[in-house]
Structure 1
Amino acid sequence: MIYRLLCLYLLIAVQATAIETCHGDVACDLGDRSYHVLEPDGWDGETPLPVLLHFHGWARQGDVVVNHSRIAGATKLRGVLLVAPNGQRKTWDFWTSETDDVAFANRVLEDVAKRYPVDPKHIYVSGYSYGGAMAWRYACQSGDGTAALLAVAGSIQQTEDCPQAPREVRHVHGLSDTVMDFPIGPNGDKTYPVALWRDAFDCRTATPRGDWSVEPFLTLSRIEWSDCAQGQVVLDTHPGGHFIPHGWIGRQLDELLGRNPTYP
């Protein structure tokens, strides 16, 4: 009987420790919601960490994000802390400004800062598909102080009036996307996916930066607006569909952190 009680006590203690030291597949509880977090490889436990807050796609959760080679694979190698909130019912409410998910994401960042030494000057907000749209919504409603928005194949209406904005915007979208359709603007404008931020930042000149790729089967074309009254906007497009391009998140982080772009 004593042996069984001891085993039960040890089991409860181990579970409590796992919850207290949540990371990776073990979610961090935050009230009635939760999020996942993943430290970068080789972190010394003391150096302040840049953060990538990434919103998962529809019907997914944060555990997918922290195990995803094109997301976690990028942050782990670049000294970036990956934070992946869990959407209610595996989705996000990004349609209008009347959403609780922006406030939830802010609570997540506040909780992360209690657990880790966070570099407040390097908070990046990202997402894919519905999560990309949620990243846009977050940047629109609570983006002040955010270093950059890194959105993949998802956005909000380009006619929104955003009260806040990140310091920089980077967006990638496939021209053949049929899930979150590529938003072509008036007169066939293929730079329309970032029209909201171009206008908000008072950008004037679109400068082609050429093609780039990290895998031979996918070429991305880049256009940049760097003459803005504030901030900068970058748009990458590719001929493919609805996915996170190989190396895209890693390249953005490299450029934002002043590193030479590498792959993976």
Structure 2
Amino acid sequence: MIRLSFILAALLTATSASAMGPWKGDAPACGDEVACPLGTRSYHVMEPDGWDGESPMPVLLHFHGWSRNGIHPQRSERVGASTKRRGVLLVTPNGERNTWRFWQSDSEDVPFADAVLLDVARRYPIDPTKIYVSGYSFGSAMAWRFACQSGNDVAALLAVAGSIDQTETCPEAPGDIRHVHGLADTVMDFPMGPGNDVTYPVALWRRALDCATARMDQGDWQVRSFLTLSRTTWDCAQGDVTLDLHPGGHFIPHGWIGRQLDELLHLTPSYP
């Protein structure tokens, strides 16, 4: 599991080392489509627009979908464009064989993702209080797994159309949970609860964060006119849980990640 103290130590080491541009220490340069090597594996990193090369940045650790790699979310208007415009460093690990192992709690991809964040902190000045984790499809399930096993130092989970078994008990959890899912999703099937309970997709986190039974209907919202999302939230003793539902299938809704980042960073809502 990654610990905040480790991130802070890596950040102090990086900022005290001699720098050439934003790169710290003797780490080999990488970025955008040039992968950052990490042992036998790798990840990609993409700087936001207008970064001054010194200021600590929020981080979005995003797990790609099945059969993809870390470059795909960088090129996506619904992921990469959202981070570039909001001052967020996008970090996209590469899954082995273009997939993730999220079914079991002892997944080797969890310590790999921990190591990715530590390596990023050695290369870049990051804000350890603003580490966000997201993913799409299989990548969303991997984001859930990471948050479940190593989420205490994660500020928020931004999950899109994928999850783990709602009956699990997680040893760790972020303080802010945000999940979006399509009611007509047949790829990562919508996890309907008993009695057709449409709030079941976040049942695990509602238990973990000790949420009140009563839910709060926050109404409908749109970024694009052709898709309406309905938001439900819960008042929780140890954080916040938000569920956005839409009538569509298996995709990242336009502007969804951007809206979550705007709310988390207290920015004026914008699109994309």
1:102 aligns with one of 103, 110, 134: 110
The amino acid of 1:27's aligned partner reads: A
User: What corresponds to 1:33 in structure 2?
Assistant: 41
User: Structure 1, residues 4-44: CA drift from partner, whole Å, max 9, x if none?
Assistant: xxxxxxxxxxxxxxx92211111001010000000000000
User: Structure 1, residues 221-259: CA drift from partner, whole Å, max 9, x if none?
Assistant: 00011x211100000000000000000000000000111
**How many Å separate the matches in 2 of 1:214 and 1:168?**
22
2:180 aligns with one of 172, 183, 189: 172
Paired-residue identity, %: 68
**How many Å separate the matches in 2 of 1:106 and 1:61?**
18
User: What corresponds to 2:229 in structure 1?
Assistant: 220
The yes-or-no answer on 1:145 pairing with 2:147 is no
The farther-off stretch of 184-193 and 201-210 is: 201-210
**TM-score normalized by the length of structure 1:** 0.92
4+ runs deviating over 6 angstroms:
none
1:254 aligns with one of 252, 262, 266: 262
User: What corresponds to 1:46 in structure 2?
Assistant: 54
The amino acid of 1:126's aligned partner reads: S
User: Structure 1, residues 191-249: CA drift from partner, whole Å, max 9, x if none?
Assistant: 00000001111111210101111101001000011x21110000000000000000000
**How many Å separate the matches in 2 of 1:100 and 1:157?**
18
User: What corresponds to 1:61 in structure 2?
Assistant: 69
**How many Å separate the matches in 2 of 1:32 and 1:245?**
34
**TM-score normalized by the length of structure 2:** 0.89
User: What corresponds to 1:202 in structure 2?
Assistant: 210
**How many Å separate the matches in 1 of 2:210 and 2:58?**
28
The amino acid of 2:81's aligned partner reads: G
Counting only pairs closer than 5 Å after superposition, residues 1-16 of structure 1 correspond to structure 2 as none
User: Structure 1, residues 83-134: CA drift from partner, whole Å, max 9, x if none?
Assistant: 0000000000000112110000000000000110010000000000000000
Kindly indicate whether structure 1 or structure 2 has the higher relative contact order, using CA contacts under 8 Å at least 6 residues apart: 2
Other structure's SS at 1:208 match: strand
User: What corresponds to 1:74 in structure 2?
Assistant: 82
The amino acid of 1:238's aligned partner reads: H
2:133 aligns with one of 125, 136, 139: 125
**How many Å separate the matches in 2 of 1:145 and 1:30?**
21
**How many Å separate the matches in 1 of 2:271 and 2:168?**
35
Other structure's SS at 1:131 match: helix
Task: State how many pairs are aligned.
Answer: 245
Larger radius of gyration: 1
